[in-house]
Amino acid sequence: MSVEAVRIPTQAGVARAAEKIAAILPPTPLLPFTCREQQVYAKAECLQPIGVFKIRGAWHRLSDLTEEERAAGVVGVSSGNHAQGVAWAARRLGIAAAIVMPADAPQVKLARVRELGAEVVTYDRRTEDRDAISRALAAERDATLVHAFGDAWVIEGQGSTGIELSAQMQALAGGDPTRIITPLGGGGLAAGLALACPDAEIVGVEPEGWDDVARSLATGTIQRVAADAPATACDALQTPATWPVNFAVLNGRISAVTVSEAEVRAAQRFAFAQLRLVLEPGGATALAAALAGKVALDGRTALVLSGGNTDAASFARVLEEAA
């Protein structure tokens, strides 16, 4: 099955996803720390078994497939983190998975997807259209296409982060989160958080030059990243544009800010020294925005540390910049 009517993600769907995920994965910790003299809380999704929150959406999607759909397999499309989520869930459910990944994805991500038993199909990020390739592959195999963010199940699954976070914030700080700051790429996690936590302000954080969602929110229509967008270390956030299923949730509901590459590296160093956590660049943008004073903070502000899949050489260079 390669085409179906677009399902709209719902708050009830997020709640159901959270229950399914709680049954197989312990909650990631919500870690209190001091940022600009304010106690805030970090949701450490980098501590998921695959090092990133993407395990949530992939699990919700794949575990909802019918027996017939499972037998036909799945096709994922991803810069590397969603790929690991799909591969992890597929292996656990005994489903064949093929993942369409950019040939220049971090080696550590390519290797891990293969280790998890998935087939990797590479494409050239500059000249080829990953969505067209993955659609064709899914059609050819009659497999289910599992998009990295433009999918109701994936959005609902990522939203389970907000359900966990709210329960933990209540226990630690006596109330629901007032504000959640999150890395923002295609808008799967941000849309999920918006559905999960209807009373919280949601602030997405994009890398400079990759602010397509910020411009989409400003104009009320989906905008694309410029063809000459600058290089960014945030490979996980290099999405050309958000999708309608995401934008329908995000528009009028969230705000967005940007951070520089240097601010991202400073956040990686802060997480190393103060939280003893490894963050990949794209997983550090929310922390970067908080540290740089780009978002207001209060006593029930949470920020999502969304992933930690980076290679040793890159991380060593980030550390040495300050040493």
- Chain residues binding a second copy by CB under 8 A are 26, 28-33, 44, 46-47, 49, 51, 108, 168, 171-172, 269, 272-273, 275-279, 308-309, 311-313, 315-317, 319-320, 322-323
Q: Which is nearer to a second copy, 93 or 167 (CB)?
A: 167
Q: Which of 93/108 has CB closer to a second copy?
A: 108
121 neighbors 140 (Cβ within 8 angstroms) = no
CB of 261 to a second copy, least distance (A): 18
- The Cα–Cα gap between 318 and 323 comes to 9
Q: How far apart are CA 261 and CA 208, in angstroms?
A: 7
Task: Count CB-CB contacts under 10 A for residue 229.
Answer: 16
| Tokens coding 196 | 């999960």
- Residue placing its CB nearer to a second copy in the complex, 133 or 172: 172
By DSSP bridging, strand 30-35 and strand 38-44 are: antiparallel
Per DSSP, 206 falls in state E
Q: How far is the CB of 23 from a second copy (least distance, A)?
A: 12
| Closer residue to a second copy (CB): 48 or 246 | 48
Q: What is the DSSP string of 213-229?
A: HHHHHHHTS--PPPTTP
CB of 319 to a second copy, least distance (A): 4
Smallest gap from Cβ 252 to a second copy, in A, equals 35
Task: Specify the residue, 168 or 258, whose C-beta has the smaller distance to a second copy.
Answer: 168
* Least Cβ distance, residue 190 to a second copy (angstroms): 22
**Residue (25 or 241) nearer to a second copy, CB:** 25
Nearest distance, CB of residue 75 and a second copy, angstroms: 26
Angle ∠(307,311,315) on CA atoms, nearest 5? 85
Q: Are strands 254-259 and 201-207 parallel, antiparallel or unpaired?
A: parallel
